[in-house]
Structure 1
């Protein structure tokens, strides 16, 4: 979380600041921004965390609440070396908030204000680190939208990007519509300033502005009234004469007015390597100039936890989204033999969710993101409740129950024999399948095989819903349960399309299973049911017209997506055209 551009890193709490937030006792104030205030707190184990409390006027807006919930849950999926992970949140309480790992370092804004512009070598390392952070953020289907010097922290081992995606929550609320600004004008892209469609290329433009700011020590488009700054961003070319030869090509390409002309994140890393005259960027321990590193050494120690920390359990740990990371190990209750008559050992009261799900790497506690009390999200009790040994009275009761059940089974068997006899016309010796019912013979009338020992009819294949020539714009998503199918701008749907540049577009899936069919496979419901070459991201550049993709969703829907091509570079909108066939409820939901 960000801190002021100047002034002390840890400010004492004021009369308007709360003493606690959902069980976290606040030790200091770190700063404030357009959407709220940021505080320092600690877990009971002493680990510092930064807590951002949302302004009351945003909390009262229902549309902001909806988007904030989506963006926070999406941000919890982001686990990168150059990001500060979101480890806890409350998006539904009276005052929304989120907590991230605390990064011991100043913001880029504060470092430049105190120590001046950074040398080109440091700027290249800074840009490369931010670019890697954006790769992880965009890979989760998120645009930062508010990338600026106060949202970049400088740590001894590299930069950290914070507050990714949160600004999107305020984009279409009644507050922003009435003139409340969340972004920083000096670091907005032309499409943001002109209120046009915003995509991942917006973050590339902001990255160019950050590189120029770090190298020059001032905003490239100047300061002053916001409308004047935004006008210059949209209509004027920046003055880059003060930039070094190493940085000028990189900044020039990032600041292209047309989003389609900006470089991809992969290209930016290549530009950084070329400017540094290295085939592989290596970040030394002294990547920061001495004056900034000395400032890090002089920074005051993190304040100690406030005495009387709220007891564990005051705030329930945020429930993990199924896309984040339940633990890979799914505990089960061990079987316990019971001598003599008595009931089978009861399972533990706590039932873990079925199905193995990969653990997201890189969380602050070594695996999945952690909650406020030190345990990883989704962790199960180390010792589940143990069943009590059966007593003598329980054994007698169990014997009666067993005898009753056995007698009932005999009665049902007799009734079944009578029904078979009547259905067979009294021919008790009829061969199976010669005239008896399908249930009695164990075969379905439709010809499908039945599970042994049951008369359940087979699942009927759902009727397909077809959408020909469907156009999906960048930054939007599909939910295959929707009928009719419509592009969505939320973060939790089945298939998304995003671009960081005209040559770097991706089709991806969040919780869905995505498979690209090869030329020998015929796209069908049966093929999509059986295909298992799962992936989460497919570069659009690797697709040719007619390529088929299968998508199997958590809700049990199956979609066959046929790629039809992309929009022309001259088109004002970036989109792809696809034919979509959806079989809703085709498989059991995960």
Structure 2
């Protein structure tokens, strides 16, 4: 989602100098150069205080003026920040509410596939297989976050030394919402659209699979599978005609043909694509050597790695329209009048940043084991936090909580004095309650659940009902009650059409999927909470599964499609009988398996639902 691609023909000038209408800083990020411009906006190069290069895409003003675009853009940024794959450029910072929205991703020092093919010609078969396998893994993670790319094309694939990077996922969905679509502007690139997309029908993850086949054909031949020309002509051929695969090597024919199936239901899954790449590679597993790209393309990577540094002293904030402090994507404390005054931060962006802790990624695994080794996540750059000396921001902690207002205690005191003067001695109790309420609002607290208002001495207030003091300990279900000890069940192979009962001491699959069961693997392809009042919650990849997390999360569902589950995803199970469980997905049966099953680990807390 970084937009780090360059316009064709601009390859000789990778790092373009800033023009008069380009900002010197964006929300505290000092701009070093312009990387390019496209239909959605301009892309700039900057750095974190630690020296990590980042690419910042500033959205075009006409998109930012559309409220529906902003809503969808914020939604896509939230989803994209959960994407932590080896073959994507992660979104690390964003502002979806400012005058001109922007987002920042890790900078990838490599040409786009489009630039590489234009400059050096088609890629060899071995490189294409590794390219498509890496892109398939990227789509697995993107789809797992609930995103359909919609604009997968050669200019949205960057070629890095250690593999491809898929970028710009989700922006096309937000752009679909703008008024520009009402003026005949097509969102997406016609040569790489799917038939259902060109015909205006429903877009699904299978839409990206069709585009993946088109990218494979382009990388192997240097030409789009459905030719070039006017948009209407290309779209007609995509919907009604077969692709021209002349020049596609035999080893790639099956892969490309299956991806370019007109019917979305007939296209291969991500796991099947990985297997097709492995089979065509004639190896047991796919291994990516350091020199997986041709030498001329690798030389382009070296050039892009020598990125220029930003100037140390930016001009005053009034020198450019975007030098005003950006609104951080996650909530930040309201700026005080002193903080709003223009100030120039010292060289190096100011004070040291707080360490950014990226969400723990869950990388995809496939039956073929495409990489043949364990994944190791890389450290991601930081987000933005308010610069204490002025209105600028510097990269830092994204989840920083708002600072409490210093005037809160003073305001509470003034309210208390005013209340005392108005109500006098006779209304002293009322004044106390007013000040207490204000104090609770200041601290963000609330009264205990099910509790009563109490006066200064801890006794019930004048309007409170008499308390029942018959037996305070009877039926006690307070938080003092210890949590039940968990029971662990590892490596359960739950076959489709079978179920699990959490109350069983020895939890094992039992036949049946439609009854009062607590957790069933339905043959229709989803997990099902069958029992009365049973609920499921699909935790986000960044959430750590625990009893506390399952108790707190209320995104209840009765069924969860298995297509939303990948290795490492966790599902909370709340039964109608009061038990709670945590399912950790470990994998699914392979295509050649005689039975359809999923492998999972299960943690059970009995009588924990309350």
Query: Fold conserved (TM > 0.5)?
Result: yes
Return the match for 2:476 from 431, 436, 449. 449
> Out of 2, 7, 17, which is 1:4 matched to?
7
Shift of 1:42: 1.7
- CA shift, 1:283, in A, is 0.1
Partner of 1:332: none
Contact 1:147–1:207 (8 Å) recurs in 2: yes
**Residue among 306, 310, 315 paired with 1:305:** 310
Distance of 2:256 and 2:71 partners within structure 1:
36
The counterpart of 2:581, out of the listed 522, 532, 535, is: 532
What does residue 209 of structure 1 align with? 214
Shift in Å, 1:294: 2.8
Q: Is residue 71 from structure 1 mapped to residue 76 from structure 2 by the alignment?
A: yes
Give the one of 330, 349, 360 matched to 1:319: 330
Write the deviation string for residues 321-367 of structure 1: whole angstroms up to 9, x where unpaired: 9xxxxxxxxxxxxxxxxxxxxxxxxxxxxxxxxxx997457999726
Distance 1:170 1:287 in 2: 35
C-alpha displacement of 1:244? 0.6
- Indicate the residue corresponding to 2:40 in structure 1: 35
The CA distance in 2 between the partners of 1:295 and 1:452, in whole Å, is 61
1:236 Cα deviation (Å)? 0.4
* 1:375 corresponds to which of 396, 402, 405: 396
Q: 1:495 to 1:139 in 2, by over 3 A?
A: farther
Quote the offset at 1:233 in angstroms. 0.4
Question: What do residues 111-150 of structure 1 show as CA deviations (whole Å, max 9, x unaligned)?
Answer: 0010001110000010011111111111111111111001
| CA deviation map 1:418-469 (0-9, x unaligned) | xxxxx9xxxxxxxxxxxxx85332256xxx435499xxxxxxxxxxxxxxxx
Q: Is the 8 A contact 1:85 1:364 kept in 2?
A: no
For the structure 1 residues 370 and 62, does the alpha-carbon distance in structure 2 shift closer, same or farther, using more than 3 Å as the test?
A: closer
- Residue 75 of structure 1 deviates from its aligned partner by 0.3
Match of 1:288 among 293, 296, 303: 293
Match of 1:269, SS state, is helix
- Residue deviations 1:499-523, cap 9 Å, x none? 9xxxx952459xx973468xxxxx5
- Residue 52 (structure 2) pairs with residue 47 (structure 1): yes
Q: Is the 8 A contact 1:221 1:232 kept in 2?
A: yes
Are 1:134 and 2:147 matched, yes or no?
no
Pair 1:231–1:41, CA change in 2 (3 A):
same
Q: What secondary structure sits across from 2:581 in the alignment?
A: coil
- Is 2:167 the counterpart of 1:154? no
Is this contact kept in 2: 1:38–1:53, CA < 8 A? yes
Cα pair 1:3 1:9 within 8 Å, conserved: yes
Could you tell me how far apart the structure 1 residues matched to 2:458 and 2:88 are? Answer: 63
- Is residue 10–residue 30 contact of structure 1 (8 Å, CA) maintained in 2? yes
2:31 is the counterpart of 1:26: yes
Q: Name the CA distance, whole Å, in 2 between partners of 1:125 and 1:412.
A: 70
Change in Cα spacing, 1:360 to 1:216, as seen in structure 2 (3 Å) is: closer
Partner Cα separation in structure 2 for residue 24 and residue 59 of structure 1 = 20
Give me the whole-angstrom Cα distance separating, in 2, the residues matched to 1:299 and 1:58: 30
Query: Structure 1 CA distance, aligned partners of 2:609 and 2:331?
Result: 24
What TM-score, normalized to structure 2? 0.60
Structure 2 distance, partners of 1:294, 1:286, is 11
For structure 2, the 5+ residue unaligned runs are 318-322, 333-356, 364-375, 385-392, 407-453, 481-523, 526-552, 603-607
Q: Secondary structure at the match of 2:470?
A: helix
Q: How does 1:302-451 map to 2 (within 5 A)?
A: 302-308=307-313, 314-315=325-326, 317-319=328-330, 359-360=360-361, 366=379, 370-371=383-384, 373-378=394-399, 438-442=468-472, 448-449=475-476, 451=478
Among 226, 247, 250, the residue aligned to 2:252: 247
Cα distance, 1:54 vs structure 2:
0.8
Within 1, Cα distance between the matches of 2:82 and 2:96? 16
- Distance apart, 1:239 and its partner CA: 1.6
Q: Do 2:6 and 2:37's aligned partners in 1 also have CA atoms closer than 8 Å? A: yes
Match in the other structure for 2:191: 186
Provide the C-alpha distance between the structure 1 equivalents of 2:213 and 2:479, rounded to a whole number of angstroms: 65
Q: CA RMSD in A?
A: 4.3
2:180 aligned with 1:175 = yes
Moved more, 104-113 or 295-304: 295-304
Distance 2:32 2:456 in 1: 70
Q: Return the match for 1:514 from 571, 574, 581.
A: 571
The number of aligned residues is 418
Alpha-carbon deviation of 1:19?
2.6
Query: Which of 215, 222, 229 is matched with 1:224 structurally?
Result: 229
2:229 alignment partner, SS class: coil
Deviation, structure 1 residue 156: 0.9
CA spacing shift, 1:242–1:42, aligned 2, 3 Å? same
Report the Cα offset of residue 537 of structure 1: 10
Q: Is contact 1:89–1:98 with CA below 8 Å preserved after alignment?
A: yes
SS at the partner of 1:270? helix
Q: What's the secondary structure of 1:153's corresponding residue?
A: strand
Q: 1:31: Cα distance to partner? A: 1.4
Give 5+ residue unaligned stretches, structure 1: 322-355, 386-407, 417-422, 424-436, 454-472, 475-491, 518-522, 550-585
**Separation (CA, whole Å) in 2 of partners of 1:498 and 1:146:** 30
SS in 2 for 1:73: helix
Give the equivalent residue in structure 2 for 1:86: 91
2:225–2:243: 8 Å Cα contact kept in structure 1? Answer: yes
Query: What is the CA distance between 1:250 and its match in structure 2?
Result: 0.3
Deviation at 1:539, TM superposition (A): 7.5
Question: What secondary structure, in the 3-state scheme, does the structure 2 residue paired with 1:273 have?
Answer: helix
Partner Cα distance (1:451, 1:493) in 2: 20
- For the residues of structure 2 that align with 1:93 and 1:101, how far apart are their CA atoms? 21
After TM superposition, give the deviation of residue 5 of structure 1 in Å.
Answer: 2.7
Query: SS state of the match for residue 244, structure 2?
Result: coil
Find the aligned partners of 1:367 and 1:587 in 2 and give their Cα distance: 37
